[in-house]
Structure 1
Amino acid sequence: MNVVRLAPIVSSLRPSNHPYLNGAWTPLMEEVNAWDLTVIEGCIPDDIDGVYLRNTENQVHEPLGRHHPFDADGMIHQIDFRGGKASYRNRFVRTRCFQAEQQAGRSLWGGIMDRPGVSTRPGFGAHGGVKDSSSTDIIVHAGKALSTFYQCGEAYVLDPETLEQSGVAPWVPLDGISAHPKVDEATGELLFFNYSTHAPYMHYGVLDADGQVTNYVPIPLPGPRLPHDMAFSRNWSILNDFPMFWEPSLLAKGLHVSRFHPEMKSRFALIPRHGKTEDIRWFEAEPTYVLHWLNCYEEGDEVVLDGYFQENPQPGPLPREDEHGHFMAFIDEHSFRPKLHRWRFNLATGQTTEQRLDDRNLEFGMFNQTYAGRPYRYAYSTTTKPGWFLFNGYVKHDLVTGESWTLTLPEGRYASESPFAPRVNAKDEDDGYLVSFIIDENQGTSECILVDCKRFADGPVCRIALPHKISSGTHSHWASRAELDKAKRRKE
């Protein structure tokens, strides 16, 4: 393995016993370029061609107040597969806030658990008091990677192959965009939304394949809400109004305390992709909260939506001797209990029907993105370590037959969100690989693995060493070389 280390960044972080500044969540302070990566086991297939990108909450400076992992700075990790070889690089996202704190040499903003007054500068996004770290999501649209922040930030542009950065996407509206914009590979469009504490509280927009905004409309809500994800079918975009939101009486005092209101229904806004506010169709469903959707498609008069229904959106604190039990319960899937679930919205009758697809705690689902917005068969979910936001395995579902296959990692090894990478010249929907970065707490190392989805339960067919141990993180994306090259030709 050949490694070039870049100039160090400024860090004021001190050693800490905080559960999300240690172990698999230990921050990484170096940026590198590495090539001729060492293969630990198996061999790198020559039928995988593209880049795997993963965003990371990676704290750089000593927190001003109570640290939450979602406060941390964005870092993109990338592995590039080409011709049976792999290279790796990682970069901090140079947000405005990252640059300001590098100049100051310390934290300037508090976090989502801090009271007003902790931040030394005005904040960003829906919360209004925290920094835009751009550390939540990463996608590729029109040949450019976009990193985004779940509280609605500016969206930062990177080259998906080199990680060269070019600042804020020029099209981002005043209220920013939330994490989880969606790309429709069939049309090349990007669908996005944002939310805020001022009326109408949500907007929805569309970019075309050249990155031009073609639609941006209000989605009026009864008050401030906390949507985290959206979905789309061929003709409809699906947004939500869940009964889990900042408590209005406390919000008026500047306190951001989310509460679940089980007496209220969940509501779904179905809007034609290029529709206006007056075109919205509203549907009601059982009260819950959903962090992430899988896929959505149309079947006769129905729009079918798959995602992860939370049975306990407001869990009690985890039993711990320190003060971290409350926030840790809200990121512990075994506390809020997300289940793979299906909603059907009947456009003819206006009725919603629901169906449980699996009784296990599952989340962070992925599928073959060439089927996005279309009927699909296979889904890949993660399992987690009880009490922790750490992925310890995967479940593959055949949504047609109801069969499933489980892959559990050895104790002390933790995965990343793992997108599906279709084989070059793939013949079937599941003809490809899950790609994941692994943190091995037993060895103090990290690696990349490939799982052949045709032989899912067999485990990794290839393990590739990384040049350093990375921190755990959230969302990821696969971009095939064919899609990247197509975007380059479009700009020529």
Structure 2
Amino acid sequence: MKIERLPPVKFSLQPNNHPYLNGAWTPLREEVTVDELDVIDGAIPADLDGVYLRNTENQVHQPLGRYHPFDGDGMIHLIDFKGGKASYRNRFVRTRGFEAEQEADGALWGGLADPAGLAKRPGYCAHGSLKDSSSTDIVVHAGRALSTFYQCGEGYRLNAETLEQEGIEGWTPIDGISAHPKVDEATGELMFFNYSKFAPYLHYGVVDRHNKLVTYIPIPTPGPRLPHDMAFTEHYSILNDLPVFWDEGLLKRNIHAVRMHDGTPSRFAIVPRHGRTEDVRWFEAAPTYVLHWLNAYEEGDEIILDGYFQENPTPEPKRDAPPGFEHMMAYLDQQAFRPKLHRWRFNLKDGTTREAHLDDRIMEFGMFNQRYAGRKYRYVYSTVTEPGWFLFTGFVKTDLETGESTEFHLPRGQYASETPFAPKPDATSEDDGYLISFIIDEAGGGSYCAILDAKRIEDGPICRIALPHKLCSGTHACWADRKFIREGALGAL
């Protein structure tokens, strides 16, 4: 493994005891390129031809305040598969905030857990006092990677095969782009939303396969809301107004305190993909919060939506957490907010909603074969976590037709990343392909890439590939076939 290291960035983070700046969340300082990675065991499938991209929160400077892991600087990790070989590179996302702090030799903004007045400069995004670190999500659209921030940042484009920085996405609206824009591989379109503290509070948009903004409309809500994700079907998009959002009274004092608004239902806005504000239909459902939706599709008069229903969206502080971290640790612990695989059915004919759990296990961060996005699908690949921590320790494959499931759990001290599905070029079934994940081996002090046969995840990795350094944990990832990347780039011309 021959490693090419880039010149180091300025790094001022000091030794500390923060639970999310150590262990599997220890920030990575270096950017590298490796043309050919070493295989630990097994063999890289010769039919894998594309890239796996993962976004991570990777703090560079000493925080001004308490630090929350979602504050960290964005770093994209890429592994490229072709001809039975793999290459790797990682790059910080050069956001405007990142560049400003590099110039200043230190942090300029506080974070999610800090008072708004801590920032040394005006902030970005829906919150208004944060840095746009573009560290939450990563998708591939129109032949380029797009990294986004959960609090509605500017959206940054990178070359999907080299991570060369291409700057701020030109069609970004004034209220930004939330994390979790959705790509319909069948049409090449990208659907997105944003939210803010200013009326009408929520917007929805569509960008076509040529990377042109073709739809952008308000979806008015009664006040500021905090949606995190959206979904789409073949003809509709689904947005949400959930009863977990900033306390209105405290927000007037510029205090961003999230609480459950008892007595307020969950609401879902269903709008034709290229519809207008007056076309929106609202449906009510049981109160909850949902971080991540899976997929949605049309079936007769109904729209079916799957996601992870939180049974306890605002958990009590963890008494066994390190002093000062009780609240943060609770909100990062899936065992505390208890997300369950759940299905909503919205009847377009009579306006009613039906809903129920599909599984009673605690799971989240689900993936599926993106060729079925917006269409009826069968298989879901969810993650399970280390109790008390935001760390993935295994995967559950669920058959939505039979209700059967299989599981794979990592050895103790190893932690996974989100596991996108990579279909085989000649796939004969929905689950004919691979799951790909970066694994942090905290016990061994390194990281590797794992490839699993999606048909038999219980067998564990069919191949493990050594990575050149130990990654810092993070949030979201995606897979893109090389053909999809190249055709998307041509379509954007």
**TM-score (norm. length: structure 1):** 0.99
CA distance, structure 2, for counterparts of residue 60 and residue 289 of structure 1: 31
Residue identity in the other structure for 1:9: V
CA distance, structure 2, for counterparts of residue 116 and residue 80 of structure 1: 40
CA distance, structure 1, for counterparts of residue 187 and residue 248 of structure 2: 40
CA-to-partner distance for each residue in 1:357-390, whole Å, 9 max, x for gaps?
0001100000000000000000000000000000
Task: Report if the CA contact (8 A) 1:362-1:381 is conserved.
Answer: yes
Equivalence for 2:384: 383
Between 1:270-279 and 1:421-430, the stretch displaced more is: 421-430
CA distance, structure 1, for counterparts of residue 262 and residue 311 of structure 2: 11
- The equivalences for 1:365-380 within 5 A come to 365-380=366-381
Equivalence for 1:131: 131
Equivalence for 2:344: 343
Equivalence for 1:281: 281
CA distance, structure 1, for counterparts of residue 116 and residue 97 of structure 2: 18
- The equivalences for 1:192-203 within 5 A come to 192-203=192-203
Task: Report if the CA contact (8 A) 2:144-2:489 is conserved.
Answer: no
CA distance, structure 2, for counterparts of residue 424 and residue 234 of structure 1: 23
CA distance, structure 2, for counterparts of residue 474 and residue 490 of structure 1: 29
Secondary structure of 2:118's aligned partner: coil
- The equivalences for 1:449-464 within 5 A come to 449-464=450-465
- The equivalences for 1:211-230 within 5 A come to 211-230=211-230
Residue identity in the other structure for 1:234: E
CA-to-partner distance for each residue in 1:131-186, whole Å, 9 max, x for gaps?
00000000000001000000000000000100001110000000001000000011
CA distance, structure 2, for counterparts of residue 297 and residue 34 of structure 1: 41
Between 1:406-415 and 1:419-428, the stretch displaced more is: 419-428
1:44 and 2:58 are equivalent in the alignment:
no
CA distance, structure 1, for counterparts of residue 106 and residue 490 of structure 2: 43
Equivalence for 1:66: 66
Equivalence for 2:270: 270
Task: Report if the CA contact (8 A) 2:55-2:137 is conserved.
Answer: yes
CA-to-partner distance for each residue in 1:196-240, whole Å, 9 max, x for gaps?
001000000001000011100000000000000000001110000
CA distance, structure 2, for counterparts of residue 165 and residue 52 of structure 1: 17
Task: Report if the CA contact (8 A) 2:68-2:111 is conserved.
Answer: yes
Q: CA deviation at 1:61?
A: 0.1
CA distance, structure 1, for counterparts of residue 378 and residue 430 of structure 2: 8
Task: Report if the CA contact (8 A) 2:228-2:291 is conserved.
Answer: yes
Q: Percent of counterpart pairs with the same letter?
A: 66
1:298 and 2:301 are equivalent in the alignment:
no
Task: Report if the CA contact (8 A) 1:262-1:288 is conserved.
Answer: no
Secondary structure of 1:171's aligned partner: coil
CA distance, structure 2, for counterparts of residue 345 and residue 267 of structure 1: 11
Equivalence for 1:94: 94
CA distance, structure 2, for counterparts of residue 20 and residue 247 of structure 1: 26
- The equivalences for 1:359-438 within 5 A come to 359-438=360-439
Residue identity in the other structure for 1:341: H
CA distance, structure 1, for counterparts of residue 244 and residue 492 of structure 2: 43
CA distance, structure 2, for counterparts of residue 321 and residue 255 of structure 1: 24
Unpaired segments of 5 or more residues in structure 2?
Answer: none
Equivalence for 2:326: 325
Q: CA deviation at 1:262?
A: 2.9
Task: Report if the CA contact (8 A) 2:142-2:492 is conserved.
Answer: no
Q: CA deviation at 1:491?
A: 4.9
Equivalence for 1:483: 484
Equivalence for 1:445: 446
| Cα distance, 1:491–1:203 mapped onto 2, change above 3 Å | closer
CA-to-partner distance for each residue in 1:425-453, whole Å, 9 max, x for gaps?
11110001110000001100000000101
Q: CA deviation at 1:321?
A: 4.1
1:166 and 2:179 are equivalent in the alignment:
no
CA distance, structure 2, for counterparts of residue 396 and residue 262 of structure 1: 34
CA-to-partner distance for each residue in 1:14-56, whole Å, 9 max, x for gaps?
0111000000000001000002211111010101110000000
Equivalence for 2:32: 32
CA distance, structure 2, for counterparts of residue 321 and residue 416 of structure 1: 25
Task: Report if the CA contact (8 A) 2:247-2:257 is conserved.
Answer: yes
CA distance, structure 2, for counterparts of residue 69 and residue 321 of structure 1: 15
Task: Report if the CA contact (8 A) 2:53-2:478 is conserved.
Answer: yes
| Cα distance, 1:318–1:187 mapped onto 2, change above 3 Å | same
CA distance, structure 2, for counterparts of residue 83 and residue 465 of structure 1: 17
Task: Report if the CA contact (8 A) 2:143-2:490 is conserved.
Answer: no
CA distance, structure 1, for counterparts of residue 164 and residue 340 of structure 2: 38
Q: CA deviation at 1:409?
A: 0.7
1:146 and 2:146 are equivalent in the alignment:
yes
Q: CA deviation at 1:487?
A: 2.0
**TM-score (norm. length: structure 2):** 0.99
CA distance, structure 2, for counterparts of residue 57 and residue 439 of structure 1: 14
CA-to-partner distance for each residue in 1:344-363, whole Å, 9 max, x for gaps?
00001100000110001100
CA distance, structure 2, for counterparts of residue 327 and residue 248 of structure 1: 21
1:234 and 2:229 are equivalent in the alignment:
no
Q: CA deviation at 1:328?
A: 1.0
Equivalence for 2:11: 11
Residue identity in the other structure for 2:268: F
Equivalence for 2:191: 191
Residue identity in the other structure for 1:415: A
CA distance, structure 1, for counterparts of residue 492 and residue 202 of structure 2: 32
CA distance, structure 1, for counterparts of residue 262 and residue 251 of structure 2: 19
